[in-house]
Amino acid sequence: MIRLAWRYLWSSPLTTALNLLLLTLGLAAVTFVLRASAQVEAGLRRDLASLDLVVGAKGSPMQIMLAGVFHLDSPTGNIPLRTLQALQQQPLVAQAVPLSLGDSYQGHRIVGTTPEYLDLYAAHFAHGHVWAAPMQAVLGAEVARRSGLAVGDRFAGSHGLGEGGEAHADRQFEVVGVLAESGSVLDRLVLTDIASVWAVHAGHAGAHETNPANEPNEAVHDDGDAREITLALVRYRSPLGAALLPRWVNAQQGLQSAAPALETARLMRLVGAGTEVLQGFGIVLLVAAGLSVWVALLHAVRARQGDLAMLRMLGAPAHRIATLIALEALMLAGMALLLGLAAGHGLVMLLEHLLAQRQSLRLGAMGVSEAEWLVPLLASGMALAAAAWPAWRAYRLDVTTLLQAPR
Amino acid sequence: MLGWSELVHRYAGATDTLRYVDFSLDRGCHLLLRGASGAGKSTLLALLSGLLRVQQGELEVAGTSLVGMSARALDAWRGETLGVVPQRLHLSDALTVAENLALPALAAGQRADTARAAELLEGLQIAELADRRPHQLSVGQAQRVALARALMRRPRLLLADEPSANLDDDHALHMLALLLDAAEREGCTLVIASHDGRVIEALSAREDVAEVVLRGLQPSGQMEVPTGSSTSYWADEGLA
């Protein structure tokens, strides 16, 4: 029966190919949207770790969150080191981790911090160990892969967060560790002791008070009270922190808090509009494909009614004839499902490649997202809906008339 | 083997009732059904092949009473008992000749018997056509393929509806010879429905063929079956 349905399906190769193309495009669009949005969300959640608050210089909370958590934007400015100390002394704060930005290596940000930052992401070492002194660096997996640097190698950072900045050739970092791939933001960062950033920029104190695009703050530092960091990542000790701490931070002069969860939700809402348009486009394609399959099957039943009547005459029960028609639609949907899933994942892979080139979010094209179970359901549901009426027509064939009357 | 008594059929919504006078065919004989369009021939064929349910009376085909059989049982019975060569041959162009021969097994939800297909194609001298598509066949070749398909499941009754329609004299007589020869070889009863004078003339000369004439709405008298039948037959169709 399956073989017969297959042969009938391809007895009109052009129609079948066109329907297959339409269905595939629709399913690929839906797969892409489901997979990409799930991966973006998972990537964002991974990078959020267990962070509750990001504290930076006055400016846009979204920018602070993007710069501090995802390392996608320039920071809003620097904040005094004593702010970190003040935060750490707050009873509502369980942990406050400093980040100092300003330099990069081949486009990868050099982040001055403490080993606690690695703990936030439960990072594991592929090689080496965490820094023990200034000017020692730990590379994220992607940085190590792209740069070819290994434990024991030395490199010099360049000024600014983008590529092409002036190199600090006189102050070289030594690679002491390489992190195992985690899929998180750590993969694309160069991590070092916060004192390294201060050391590299010694003598540049007060160089930048504001932060023009792609010309970020050097986390500046003379000594004592003049030392600065770029951002502080905060974890609350209790949920009460969410109610009180942002208010306290925002009341301080020159400080701005950003709640990553809230800002990410806002970001997803913005991205969501585009996602919905794409998803809508996929659904429209699917509906068009469903109608096309419906018309093709109706036409096929009409053109083949003699053959189907003959099958009835040969002893096939009416339900088997109807099943034959449904099988044709299901086979078409099955092929489109495989091609659509492959194309959808291929597109996600392409997006992942593009994002990786721009050192943005990490996506995974392999594997299956939770929401993707919808795709086969959608494909088979649509196939059965398109086949229902033609199958009913086939079920109700007047065999006697069809076999006797000339067509 | 084949017969009916007090057989009556009425189509839903119709006022006319088709009444078939009692008939019985002897074992080893074949049957020629004659009658013009509208005489009730198609209805009788549909009843004989189990496509229409028996509403009233008795109908026995190949030793089985079709009265009270469910639609599903009739489908199964038809597949096992009947071989059909329809007026239009209805060979599927989407399939090769060999695949067309697999359809009877497929219709019954069984595996195709390729050895049987090869044997029949060999017997009908068309073995070399197995991989061709029906549209690549001549009329004569297509008829043989349709006959082979009808014989695939070793039917006990071979039913041919207007087998000579639209054929020239040579092809018409050749087809008739093929049917008679196949019925003899396979040991099955042949039922031919035809109003073609060439077929009637050829079959009238045979002693093993009973002839039944359906006369439609005209009241008719008793008609002697020409040869080979143990009973006489007359056909009538009138108001209920």
The pLDDT of A19-32, averaged and rounded, is 86
Q: Do A399 and B51 make contact, defined as CB atoms within 8 angstroms?
A: yes
Query: Given a cut of 60, is residue B86 above it in pLDDT?
Result: yes
Q: Do B51 and A400 make contact, defined as CB atoms within 8 angstroms?
A: yes
pLDDT score of A210: 39
| β partners of residue B109 | none
Q: Give the separation between CA A73 and CA A89, rounded to whole angstroms.
A: 29
Mean pLDDT computed over every residue of chain A: 81
Q: Give the separation between CA B113 and CA A283, rounded to whole angstroms.
A: 45
Using a CB–CB cutoff of 8 Å, tell me whether A148 touches chain B.
no
Mean pLDDT computed over every residue of chain B: 81
Residues 6+ apart with CB under 8 A from B126: B97, B141, B144, B145, B148
- A361 Cα to chain B: minimum distance (Å): 51
Is residue B91 within 8 A of residue B149, CB to CB? The reply is yes
The per-residue b/e assignment along B46-69, b for 16 or more CB within 10 angstroms, e otherwise, is bbbbbbbbbeebebbbbebebeeb
Report the CATH number at residue B109. Answer: 3.40.50.300
Q: Do A7 and B80 make contact, defined as CB atoms within 8 angstroms?
A: no
As a three-state string, the secondary structure of chain A is CHHHHHHHHCCCHHHHHHHHHHHHHHHHHHHHHHHHHHHHHHHHHHHHCCCCEEEEECCCHHHHHHHHHHCCCCCCCCEEHHHHHHHHHCCCEEEEEEEEEEEEECCEEEEEECCHHHHHCCCCEEEECCCCCCCEEEECHHHHHHHCCCCCCEEEEEECCCCCCCEEEEEEEEEEEEECCCCCHHHHEEEEEHHHHHHHCCCCCCCCCCCCCCCCCCCCCCCHHHCEECEEEEEECCCHHHHHHHHHHHHCCCEEEECHHHHHHHHHHHHHHHHHHHHHHHHHHHHHHHHHHHHHHHHHHHHCHHHHHHHHHCCCCHHHHHHHHHHHHHHHHHHHHHHHHHHHHHHHHHHHHHHHHCCCCCCCCCCCCHHHHHHHHHHHHHHHHHHHHHHHHHHCCCHHHHHHCCC
Q: Do B95 and A310 make contact, defined as CB atoms within 8 angstroms?
A: no
Residue numbers in B near A312 (CB within 8 A): 51, 75, 107
pLDDT score of A139: 93
Q: What's the structural domain count of chain B?
A: 1
pLDDT band at residue B44 under the 50/70/90 scheme = confident
pLDDT score of A164: 63
Using a CB–CB cutoff of 8 Å, tell me whether B154 touches chain A.
no
**For residue B86, what is the DSSP state?**
-
Residue numbers in B near A310 (CB within 8 A): 86, 90, 92, 103
What are the angstrom distances between the C-alpha of B16 and each of B5, B19, B38, B40, B237?
Answer: 19, 10, 12, 11, 8
Which tokens sit at A190? 């160069």
Using a CB–CB cutoff of 8 Å, tell me whether B46 touches chain A.
yes
Q: Do A320 and B107 make contact, defined as CB atoms within 8 angstroms?
A: yes
Summarised one tens digit per residue, pLDDT across range A222-248 is 455 578 889 899 999 888 888 888 998
Cα angle A228, A233, A236; round to 5: 130
Using a CB–CB cutoff of 8 Å, tell me whether B42 touches chain A.
yes
Q: Do A314 and B80 make contact, defined as CB atoms within 8 angstroms?
A: no
Summarised one tens digit per residue, pLDDT across range A122-135 is 889 999 999 988 88
Q: Give the separation between CA B65 and CA A354, rounded to whole angstroms.
A: 74
pLDDT score of A207: 41
Query: Given a cut of 90, is residue A338 above it in pLDDT?
Result: yes
Q: Which of A317, A320, A403 sits opposite B86 (nearest CB)?
A: A403
Residue numbers in B near A8 (CB within 8 A): 94
Which tokens sit at B239? 């108001």
pLDDT score of B210: 87
Using a CB–CB cutoff of 8 Å, tell me whether B37 touches chain A.
no
Is residue A293 within 8 A of residue A23, CB to CB? The reply is yes
Q: Do A314 and B51 make contact, defined as CB atoms within 8 angstroms?
A: no
What percentage of chain B exceeds 90 in pLDDT? 10
Q: Which of A8, A406, A407 sits opposite B94 (nearest CB)?
A: A8
The pLDDT of A208-235, averaged and rounded, is 60
Residues 6+ apart with CB under 8 A from A133: A193
Q: Which domain holds residue B197?
A: 2-239
Most A CBs within 10 Å, among B101, B106, B114, B157, to test the A interface: B106
Interface A–B counts its CB contacts (< 8 A) at 88
pLDDT score of B226: 38
**For residue B230, what is the DSSP state?**
S
pLDDT score of A161: 65
**Any idea which of A23-32, A106-115, A286-295, B64-73 has the lowest mean pLDDT?**
A286-295
Most A CBs within 10 Å, among B11, B88, B133, B135, to test the A interface: B88
Residues 6+ apart with CB under 8 A from B234: B21, B215, B220, B221, B222, B223
Q: Do B79 and A307 make contact, defined as CB atoms within 8 angstroms?
A: no
Q: Give the separation between CA A225 and CA A232, rounded to whole angstroms.
A: 16
- B97 Cα to chain A: minimum distance (Å): 13
pLDDT score of A217: 47
Q: Are strands A79-80 and A255-258 parallel, antiparallel or unpaired?
A: unpaired
Using a CB–CB cutoff of 8 Å, tell me whether A400 touches chain B.
yes
Residues 6+ apart with CB under 8 A from A251: none
What are the angstrom distances between the C-alpha of A377 and each of A145, A331, A333, A384?
Answer: 40, 14, 10, 11
Query: Given a cut of 60, is residue B58 above it in pLDDT?
Result: yes
Which tokens sit at A328? 């044709």
The pLDDT of B175-199, averaged and rounded, is 88
Summarised one tens digit per residue, pLDDT across range B101-129 is 998 988 888 888 899 999 889 888 888 98
Summarised one tens digit per residue, pLDDT across range A145-204 is 988 988 999 988 888 766 666 666 777 889 999 999 888 888 889 999 988 888 877 655
Q: Give the separation between CA A162 and CA B194, rounded to whole angstroms.
A: 91
pLDDT score of B101: 93
Using a CB–CB cutoff of 8 Å, tell me whether A270 touches chain B.
no
Q: Do A4 and B106 make contact, defined as CB atoms within 8 angstroms?
A: yes
